[in-house]
Structure 1
Amino acid sequence: MRLIPILTALAVTAFLVLAVLQRDALFRFAQENHLALVMGTPEDEGAETEADPAPVEEAPAAPAPQGVRVVARTSQAEIVDTAVILRGQTEAAREVSAKAETSGLVISEPLRKGTFVTAGQLLCELDPGTRGAALDEALARLEEAEARVPGIEAGVPEAEARLQEALARVEEAEINARAANALKRDGFATETRVAATLAAVRSAEAAVSAARAGLETAKSGLKGAQAQIRSAEAAVAVARKEIDRLQVKAPFAGLLETDVAELGTLMQPGALCATILQLDPIKLVAYVPETEVARVELGAMAGAELAEGSRVTGEVTFLSRSADPTTRTFRVEITAANSELKIRDGQTAEIAISTAGVPAHLLPASVLTLNDEGALGIRSVTPENTAQFLPVSLLRDTREGVWLGGLPDKVEVITLGQEYVETGVKVIPTYEEAASEIGQ
């Protein structure tokens, strides 16, 4: 009753032993006959033709070629545009928080977030308080300082005239002193007269010193008056600037991201009035790995697809020269038009930056295979009709196929049977173009 299971076990054991000991022979048998099972052999095609009723003398058959039958395709390289693919986000071209520079109560009606404002438009106006009176006081002091200048300026020429008069008296006293000395030598003048002329010289010299001191005093007074004028002008400028700070205006055209400060709010220096975003143009920001940064150039065209499906194009306007210390990537910015303000700040974007074209082959993804080292590539037919493994780089995946780089300009790609051959194995290629002609 158990004879059949025993026989089955013996048959399976014998098959497993044969498969292990004769593995190489079985592998060669599969390589030589797998395409015959798929495409049929010339003998099979002859069997399917209608038999000739008249007997024909058969010529001696030629020896069958040795090798593995494969299907191949002749591929010619084409120049294709490659792109650096990055994932980034949109950013506003400019974002500013308009803040108060002085204190005061808000007296203007607020604008609501989302409102478009123009450059210089009033956002917040503060109560002036006593700032107008402070400006009037500064103006009055300026007028007072300016009124003092003419009188002080007139005193300077007067002091100069007094100095000239004192110098003339010194000269006159010196002449009298020389004359008295001459008369004394001739016996016509007394010692008293000589002493009197010398005293007159000393007195004239003292008058010169006093006149010079008076001139310096007049000039100092003029400088002091001019300094008071400048001080008064500075006070006027400060008062006017303080009044200008009562109005917080938009520095550029954009959208309000927040509500403007509410009416009656007490503002202090540094308090937020509103946040403004400039979205036209918009920036697309991403980070390029150091392996790809050499392919990106300023001015290169770029495109992006946003998360909701919309697309935008622009050009590279900034490429960082310093890598992020953590990720070792480089910041790249793309500027794009956004006149309708449909693109918002912070949207996720798939960015493609165009680079120089490279030669590549468009082939079906099924031709890709791996070698023993795990490298991605294809198997081709050499001029000696042997298989050869060629490593490739995957450039782009499309609906028509994959663009592969790293191959010669012209290559015979094995499209069917590449998994059954290795480098150096003899092959019998059948080209797709020839097969299509036979089918026609």
Structure 2
Amino acid sequence: MTNQTDMSANTGRTPLDFDNDAGSSRSKYVAGGLVVALVGWMGSGVVLPSEPEASDTAQDAVSEAPRRVAVAVQDSVARAVAQVFAAEGQALAERDTMILAETGGQIAEVPVERGAEVKAGDVIARFETTRGDADLTRAREERNRAQREFDNAQTLLQRGTSTVDRVAQARSTLAAAEAAVTAAEEALGDTIVRAPFDGRIEALGIEHGEFVNAGAEMARIVDSTPLRIAIQIPQQQLADIKAGQRAQVAFITGETAEGVVRFVGRSADAQTRTFTAEIEVPNPDGAIPAGISAQVRIATGEQVAHFVSPAILSLGTDGTLGIKTVDAEQRVEFRKIEIIRAQTDGIWIGGLPEQMRIISVGQGFVNDGELVDARADEEATPVAEMAPEPMVLGASESRDEGAIQ
């Protein structure tokens, strides 16, 4: 104050003093009020949180809801399909025999040729019989002499001038002579080689004038009426194959025939664990040769199955083969399957309910338990038009094993 008074005195001016002015404190109150209002406005968002608008909440809920994948489905109804066991086999002759020489000597005649059809008893070859005829003549003479001695011994015994021992000795000599005649006759008979049964001469290893030892191979005769088709049955399918079942056979040469299972083995091969079975096939004219390959198909019964395209098959998380279906709530279900039979236009699968809605398009984009937008597959073949193919020879066959190997 002293300074201001001195200054005023020096300048001659009077200083302004607002301490006693009534409006001097109004600005302070205004500023304090603005500060309080600003703090209250900034804290209003915490103390009084604003409610979100209803329209924004609904929009967020729609955006967060998952969109269902659209898939095409087809209705499928199970039908009865024939189960067929298929196996590769080999055609075998009914009888196949190598004819051996029962005696030794020189071949005098060979009246047949290789490839000739013969009947049982037909002559295949003849040996020279000069020695055999001589042996038979000598044996017969010895028998006649022994017969005379036996007769004389009996006559003398009746007269009382001979003994029982002499008669017994004469009888023994006669018996030996008769045996020698029989042996000579058989040896002479062995010089004629005959066909043991009806068949075809497949091999002929002798020629006229050739010397053959006893036991040597002379000819091979084969009877292929009927044929035997030998196949191997896995142990899993042994119970399905029984004697008397009908079988269809397709030979590699193109011929087809119908046969009957006539033998099923009951002892497994130690290496393959399979059982041998034979199918008898008529072959009256012998047109089908033995030794060729053949495919055998045996109907083993019927099983209820669905007909689908192989393209709709899927793999489960564990690698199991199956299909994907949808239930009434349009939820995906993965179902394991068993392949019953394959055709040229699809496969028959089993182990499923009688009626289903199968995902035919889009199965690769959905998972088990997922909700989908199921729509009818307009390109699917109607169930009424699906039918099992007849047992066509040569058609491929699939089994869940288990083949029909």
After TM superposition, the score normalised by the length of structure 2 is 0.72
Q: Residue 257 of structure 1: SS of its match in structure 2?
A: strand
Partner of 1:358: 303
The verdict on how the C-alpha distance between 1:435 and 1:356 changes in structure 2, with shifts beyond 3 A counting, is closer
Question: Do structure 1's residue 229 and structure 2's residue 171 form an aligned pair?
Answer: no
CA distance in 2, matches of 1:142, 1:376: 87
Following TM superposition, by how much is the alpha carbon of 1:158 offset from its aligned partner in structure 2, in angstroms? 5.7
Partner of 2:13: none
Partner of 2:358: 413
CA distance in 1, matches of 2:220, 2:343: 44
Following TM superposition, by how much is the alpha carbon of 1:302 offset from its aligned partner in structure 2, in angstroms? 1.6
CA distance in 1, matches of 2:381, 2:296: 41
More helix by share: 1
Following TM superposition, by how much is the alpha carbon of 1:408 offset from its aligned partner in structure 2, in angstroms? 2.2
Partner of 1:326: 271
Q: Residue 345 of structure 1: SS of its match in structure 2?
A: coil
Question: Do structure 1's residue 95 and structure 2's residue 99 form an aligned pair?
Answer: no
Following TM superposition, by how much is the alpha carbon of 1:278 offset from its aligned partner in structure 2, in angstroms? 1.0
Following TM superposition, by how much is the alpha carbon of 1:378 offset from its aligned partner in structure 2, in angstroms? 0.9
**Aligned residue identity for 1:85:** A
**Aligned residue identity for 1:138:** A
Question: Do structure 1's residue 396 and structure 2's residue 341 form an aligned pair?
Answer: yes
Partner of 1:83: 84
Question: Do structure 1's residue 343 and structure 2's residue 288 form an aligned pair?
Answer: yes
**Aligned residue identity for 1:279:** S
Following TM superposition, by how much is the alpha carbon of 1:434 offset from its aligned partner in structure 2, in angstroms? 11
Q: Residue 69 of structure 1: SS of its match in structure 2?
A: strand
Partner of 2:120: 119
Question: Do structure 1's residue 301 and structure 2's residue 246 form an aligned pair?
Answer: yes
The verdict on how the C-alpha distance between 1:383 and 1:154 changes in structure 2, with shifts beyond 3 A counting, is farther
Following TM superposition, by how much is the alpha carbon of 1:251 offset from its aligned partner in structure 2, in angstroms? 0.8
Structure 2 stretches lacking a partner, 5+ long: 1-64, 383-405
Q: Residue 352 of structure 2: SS of its match in structure 1?
A: coil
**Aligned residue identity for 1:112:** E
Following TM superposition, by how much is the alpha carbon of 1:247 offset from its aligned partner in structure 2, in angstroms? 0.8
The verdict on how the C-alpha distance between 1:435 and 1:403 changes in structure 2, with shifts beyond 3 A counting, is closer
Q: Residue 181 of structure 2: SS of its match in structure 1?
A: helix
| 1:251-262 matches, cutoff 5 A | 251-259=196-204, 261-262=206-207
Identity within the alignment, %: 29
- Residues 110, 262 of structure 1: 8 Å contact kept: no
Q: Residue 226 of structure 1: SS of its match in structure 2?
A: helix
CA RMSD in angstroms comes to: 2.5
Higher relative contact order (CA 8 A, sep 6+): 1
CA distance in 2, matches of 1:284, 1:269: 34
- Residues 108, 125 of structure 1: 8 Å contact kept: yes
Which consecutive segments of 4 or more residues in structure 1 shift more than 6 A?
433-437
Partner of 1:109: 110
Cα distance per residue 1:56-83 (max 9 Å; x no partner) = xxxxxxxxxxx44322222222222212
Partner of 1:13: none
Partner of 2:318: 373
More strand by share: 2
| 1:14-413 matches, cutoff 5 A | 32=67, 67-156=68-157, 218-259=163-204, 261-413=206-358
Following TM superposition, by how much is the alpha carbon of 1:381 offset from its aligned partner in structure 2, in angstroms? 2.0
Following TM superposition, by how much is the alpha carbon of 1:222 offset from its aligned partner in structure 2, in angstroms? 2.8
The verdict on how the C-alpha distance between 1:436 and 1:300 changes in structure 2, with shifts beyond 3 A counting, is closer
CA distance in 2, matches of 1:89, 1:310: 14
Cα distance per residue 1:300-346 (max 9 Å; x no partner) = 22222222332222111122222222222221211101123222222
**Aligned residue identity for 1:91:** L
Following TM superposition, by how much is the alpha carbon of 1:254 offset from its aligned partner in structure 2, in angstroms? 1.2
**Aligned residue identity for 1:390:** R
CA distance in 2, matches of 1:373, 1:321: 37
CA distance in 1, matches of 2:329, 2:169: 105
Q: Residue 292 of structure 1: SS of its match in structure 2?
A: helix
CA distance in 1, matches of 2:297, 2:381: 38
Following TM superposition, by how much is the alpha carbon of 1:154 offset from its aligned partner in structure 2, in angstroms? 4.3
CA distance in 2, matches of 1:319, 1:153: 64
CA distance in 2, matches of 1:74, 1:308: 43
CA distance in 2, matches of 1:324, 1:148: 65
CA distance in 1, matches of 2:267, 2:381: 56
- Residues 152, 222 of structure 1: 8 Å contact kept: yes
**Aligned residue identity for 2:225:** D
Q: Residue 109 of structure 2: SS of its match in structure 1?
A: coil
Following TM superposition, by how much is the alpha carbon of 1:432 offset from its aligned partner in structure 2, in angstroms? 4.0
Q: Residue 102 of structure 1: SS of its match in structure 2?
A: coil
Following TM superposition, by how much is the alpha carbon of 1:143 offset from its aligned partner in structure 2, in angstroms? 2.2
Cα distance per residue 1:278-316 (max 9 Å; x no partner) = 111111112222222222111222222222332222111
- Residues 310, 346 of structure 2: 8 Å contact kept: yes
CA distance in 1, matches of 2:291, 2:71: 53
Following TM superposition, by how much is the alpha carbon of 1:97 offset from its aligned partner in structure 2, in angstroms? 0.9
The verdict on how the C-alpha distance between 1:79 and 1:143 changes in structure 2, with shifts beyond 3 A counting, is same
The verdict on how the C-alpha distance between 1:434 and 1:363 changes in structure 2, with shifts beyond 3 A counting, is closer
**Aligned residue identity for 2:235:** E
- Residues 123, 260 of structure 1: 8 Å contact kept: no
CA distance in 2, matches of 1:152, 1:375: 97
**Aligned residue identity for 2:114:** K
CA distance in 1, matches of 2:102, 2:367: 78
- Residues 74, 380 of structure 2: 8 Å contact kept: no
Say how many residue pairs are matched.
318
CA distance in 2, matches of 1:435, 1:402: 15
- Residues 92, 291 of structure 2: 8 Å contact kept: yes
- Residues 111, 123 of structure 2: 8 Å contact kept: no
Q: Residue 177 of structure 2: SS of its match in structure 1?
A: helix
After TM superposition, the score normalised by the length of structure 1 is 0.67
Following TM superposition, by how much is the alpha carbon of 1:267 offset from its aligned partner in structure 2, in angstroms? 1.0
- Residues 227, 283 of structure 2: 8 Å contact kept: yes
